[in-house]
Amino acid sequence: MAKAIPKKGSRGRISSCKSIRKIPKGIIHIQASFNNTIVTVTDVPGRVVSWSSAGTCGFQGTRRGTPFTAQTASANAIRAVVDQGVWEGD
């Protein structure tokens, strides 16, 4: 009988369980435009840990470019990172 060929994704082998990385420090990148705000949290080498945008928070149209939606998007991105173990403070 032939061996089963492992499934390949765009990054190679697909693992069955996703491991949570412990990140000691993070960098927050904010891209703000008139139409949308995108917040990306990366680790120090630059790998994306979490991201959020005003559109993914449920805002539509011109409301995506407001400061309130930027605050909501950044809170969602940071909440996801804190759950992964980035220490807040100091």
The secondary structure of 25-86 as a DSSP string is: --EEEEEE-SS-EEEEEE-TT--EEEEEETTTTT--GGGGGSHHHHHHHHHHHHHHHHHTTP
Specify if 17 maps to a domain: no
In a domain, 34, yes or no: yes
Give the distance from CA 17 to its chain's centroid: 19
Residue closest to 78 by CA, chosen among 50, 57, 55: 50
pLDDT tens-digit readout, 6-49: 555 555 555 444 555 677 788 899 998 888 889 999 988 999 98
Total count of domains within the chain = 1
74: in domain: yes
| Phi, psi (degrees; rounded to nearest 5) at 52 | -155, 155
Segments forming the whole domain that contains residue 71: 24-83
In a domain, 56, yes or no: yes
Closest C-alpha to 27, from 52, 44, 47: 44
Q: Domain holding 59: CATH number?
A: 3.30.420.80
Residue 9 lies in a domain: no
For 44-81, write each residue's pLDDT tens digit: 899 998 899 988 888 888 888 888 998 999 999 888 88
User: What is this structure's pTM?
Assistant: 0.68
- 12 located within any domain: no
Tell me whether residue 4 is in a domain: no
